[in-house]
Chain A
Amino acid sequence: MAAVLALIVCVPGLVFLTLGLCWLVAGPCHERIVARLTGVTSMVVCAGAAALGWALLSTALPVVATPVVPWLHVGNYHIDLALVVDRLSWPLVMLTAILVGVVGVFSVRYVHRERGFFRFFLLLHLFSCGALLVLTAASFDVLLVGWELVGLTSVLLIAFFDERPQPVSNAVRVFAFYRVADLGLLVGIYVLHSSARTTAMATLFDGAWPDQRSVLAGGPAAVVAVLLLMAAAGKSAQAPFSGWLARAMEGPTPSSAIFYGAISVHLGAYLLLRARPLFEAVPAVSAVVVAVGAVTAVLATLVHRASSDAKTSLAYAAMAQVGIVFIEIGLGWPRIALLHMSGHAVVRTLQFLRAPSMLHDYHRVHAAAGGQLAQTGAHFERLFPRSVRAWLYRISVERTHDDVIVDRLITGPVARVAQWCEAFESRGTRPGPRLAPRPRGRMVAEGVDA
């Protein structure tokens, strides 16, 4: 079974490398070849995931693990490459395998004849490899590799429609959010190396999920827990990193479905579930997890109800649900959180994939109900006075001022200082390099005569 586990992670990665190499040598493959290859890859990964599930259910084994392979070794510092599937990761591995397959099949028609068709599938396979690596990582070092791959593919897919300026600038902004939040994971891993001399989950946490105990306690456990919470909040678009999710909706709808409806947005919650023994060791941090989830859930619900476009509304709805998952994790209900994540991922993927025809669907349901569709949530709204409702509406329409707060308090001052420094550094320079002037027309006609 260890070979099957390695196979399901490696196959999407190998497909990515093969397609990339083919493209470098001979240009993009035909759409039909890419579609068939994606179908076969999905079937292989699904079959492998199902076999792993069978192995876990049919035997008393709590985990299926690959042998530990030394990946990097310098002095006392070492990173080992090992994969593991247990009762926490298997449902999510299976879910990822199925949903990537569904989105792949859907996308064959959705991005048909788009100029980025080949790029889309290339990045989908890389995302699949990264997500499966996160879910099956036996150490936080390996998890970081998959984590970054997921972030990178997410950003490149947000900039998919690069002929428009907005997706490109949004992709850069989302990347900045990711990088800031990922500092938590990077430094957290360093603290684990420094205090526990390992990042292997089997060594850090005794027992089988969900009844694990952390070998780390006190100050180091609290520091690691806070840093991991920062990384998780960034990946799952929780407060104070919520601003990026609406911007990520610039990507193609199938990628929004798999990233922000299903897998990527839940990886933060997965990280918390995986590191749960650390949070249990420090109840104060668990309380912070609950607070982060509660604040996000409330604010995201408000924005969801006031959003005027389908994808943004769905994004905030997803954010609210993940906030509730955070609350469940903070309260110490890991099984409920896992069930909630899995169900939410499936429902939200369906909603995202149907988003382009949502208005059509709504009209059909509206007509079927005889034009008597009740407005949901109105009974809660009536609890507030009119002035409060107006105030909440204004905040919701402005998406809780996330971007304004970040711009005014963080990026604005930093950028002003940096611009002043750059102006000082570049004083006295000419506006451009010295290049021999050449007639442009000839170059256009002939290409580069290099």
Chain B
Amino acid sequence: MFLVDGFALGAVVALAVTTVIAMALEPRRLRPPLTGVALLLVFGGSVLAYVAASPWLFLAGWVLTMVPLWFEPDAVPPSARFLLLAGTLVLAAGLILDARQPDSASRTLVFALVAGAALVRQGIVPFHYWVPHALDQGGVTVLNVFLNSQLGLYALVRFGMGRLGHRPDEWLWWLGGLGIVTAIYAGLLAIVAARPRRVLGWLWVSEAAFIVSGLLNGGPEGVTGALVHWWVVSIAMALLLGVYRALEARTVAVERPADLLGLGFHAPRLAVAFVVAILALVGLPGTLGFFAEDLLFHDALEVHPWLGAGLPVAAMLSAIAGLRLFSTLFLGRRGVHVPVIVDARPVERWALAVPMILLMVGGLLPDVVVALRADTAAWIVGLLALR
């Protein structure tokens, strides 16, 4: 009934860290009713999906994670909910077809359906619309855990990759390329987006696309880089969204980013956590993200000699967008109408310090982290080699 291998364990650990950070940084005053229940449903559903041995249990977990989005009025706008529902139906169709012992051509259809569901859930172009839209309009904390569950990627690896039958290399090549295109597109839009929530949404799409591209490019470097980057994105995005939520609690509504200038002076710890998370997310040295993206670049350039050069470009765009967001939120002269805010409280300091230390120690000892993901990477490379 349940299966706990290295892949599942890695996903559970990343999600647990994400959830703890999100809960610790969620301001009680802004918390809508039933947020705790919603978080429990998303976390529980994700864990159920991770450890499920049967596809039906996985599907149950997948659906469970979507319940809060459907019933929580603040969580996600209707258009995004319907897109996610469509993705779920596509996944269900794929799993039903898979249960009927398909032939080679039908197995390819299974892969296509599961990949389609995964692309929707990960916000890959052309299904990217819902992520920045949802983060812009919805509840950050529930979405923080929902997005960082990376359940689309999990489904793709667990139920998609082993089913590649007909012309597998072309499939992987096109989907990996789609990941690179998404990373560039989202990085570009992150630079020009005006509202901080949308910038964070685009950054998440861009970085999730890095992971998709690494997994589908299929080389040992790319797969390992993708698995390491999965952890980096989960921790860094949880930190970014958590810090942003903490800022919202201190400054009423963040409708005009210019209203927030100069918060770094009063909240230096929040500012430092934010900048460390940005650096890790966009792969600058001193953080684990640097090595994850280095591996991803290497594999992308091997598989897509021209398009692969787009991945460093996407990282560059994300980095500029990230620094721009940091400067908008934390630097500059504080307006007279902006309240004097308090820095991180003791509980929040722990929630900020632990992920920062994880990201920075990982940057000093990348081989240790890679060793933790080596078995899973070898298993995924083996799955792709079976095609």
Contacts and interface: CB of A to CB of B under 8 A. Distances in A.
Interface of A: 24, 70-75, 77, 79, 115, 144-146, 148-149, 152, 155, 159, 162-165, 168-169, 171-172, 175-176, 179-180, 182-183, 186-187, 190, 193-194, 414-415, 417-419, 421-422, 425-426, 429-438, 440, 443-444, 447-450
Interface in B278-293: 279, 284-286, 290-291
Interface stretch (B5-13, B100-108, B217-225): B217-225
Given A144-B285, A444-B340, A73 B370 contact: yes
Contact of B323 (A70, A71, A172, A433): A172
Contact of A419 (B133, B192, B220, B246): B192
B331 interface: yes
A448 B192 contact: no
Interface in B92-122: none
A73 B294 CA distance: 12
B188 A172 contact: no
Contacts of A155: 323
A435 B27 CA distance: 12
B319 A434 contact: no
Given A171-B327, A429-B133, A444-B339, A75 B265 contact: no
Contact of B254 (A70, A159, A421, A432): A432
Interface of B: 26-30, 74, 77, 129, 132-133, 136-138, 140, 185, 188-189, 191-193, 195, 197-198, 219-221, 224-225, 246, 248-250, 252-255, 262, 264-265, 269, 272, 279, 284-286, 290-291, 294-295, 297-298, 301-302, 309, 312-313, 316, 319-320, 323-324, 327, 331-333, 339-342, 345, 348-349, 353, 366-367, 370, 377
Nearest to A186: B312
Contact of B320 (A115, A165, A176, A186): A176
A435 B30 contact: yes
A70 B371 CA distance: 13
A73 B27 CA distance: 42
A77 B292 CA distance: 13
A144 B295 CA distance: 14
A164 B133 contact: no
B253 to A, nearest CB: 5
B285 A429 contact: no
Majority-rule SS of A interface residues: helix
A237 B331 CA distance: 26
Given A163-B265, A190-B297, A425-B133, 8 more contacts: A72-B366, A75-B221, A145-B290, A180-B316, A187-B312, A418-B188, A433-B248, A437-B253
Contacts of B132: 425-426
A8 to B, nearest CB: 18
Specify which of A24, A183, A194, A437 lies most central, judged by the most chain B CB atoms within 10 Å of its CB: A24
A440 B250 CA distance: 9
Contact of B291 (A72, A179, A444): A72
Contacts of A172: 320, 323-324, 327
B333 A418 contact: no
A448 B342 contact: yes
Contacts of B327: 159, 162, 168-169, 171-172
A230 B27 CA distance: 47
A152 B29 contact: no
B77 to A, nearest CB: 8
A163 B261 CA distance: 9
Contacts of A169: 327
Given A165-B333, A449-B29, A70 B339 contact: no
A432 B323 CA distance: 22
A11 to B, nearest CB: 15
A144 B140 CA distance: 35
B262 A163 contact: yes
A401 B301 CA distance: 35
A435 B248 contact: yes
Contacts of A437: 252-253
A433 B341 contact: no
Contact of A415 (B192, B220, B221): B192
Nearest to A126: B286
A175 B279 CA distance: 12
B279 to A, nearest CB: 7
A72 B136 CA distance: 38
Specify which of A74, A144, A176, A444 lies most central, judged by the most chain B CB atoms within 10 Å of its CB: A74
A433 B345 contact: no
A450 B27 contact: yes
A7 B210 CA distance: 36
B370 A418 contact: no
Contacts of B198: 422, 426
A16 to B, nearest CB: 10
A432 B341 contact: no
A72 B30 contact: no
B316 A179 contact: yes
B285 A149 contact: yes
B23 to A, nearest CB: 12
Given A163-B332, A434-B74, A449 B28 contact: yes
Nearest to A443: B339
B341 to A, nearest CB: 7
A425 B28 contact: no
A434 B309 contact: no
Given A162-B264, A175-B320, A448 B345 contact: yes
Contacts of A450: 26-29, 246, 249, 345, 348
Contacts of A70: 367
26 contacts: A70-B367, A71-B366, A72-B291, A74-B224, A75-B221, A115-B265, A146-B285, A148-B290, A163-B332, A169-B327, A172-B327, A180-B316, A186-B312, A187-B309, A190-B297, A194-B301, A414-B188, A431-B195, A432-B195, A440-B252, A443-B252, A448-B345, A449-B28, A450-B26, A450-B29, A450-B249
Contacts of B193: 422, 426
A114 to B, nearest CB: 12
Nearest to B377: A74
> A-B pairs with the 3 shortest C-beta distances?
A75-B220, A432-B255, A450-B27
B136 A429 contact: yes
A83 to B, nearest CB: 15
Given A168-B331, A418-B188, A426-B198, A74 B137 contact: no
B285 A148 contact: yes
Contacts of B367: 70-73
A77 B295 contact: yes
B279 A425 contact: no
A408 B387 CA distance: 49
Contacts of A434: 74, 137
B232 to A, nearest CB: 14
A149 B333 CA distance: 27
Contacts of B313: 183
Contacts of B333: 163-165
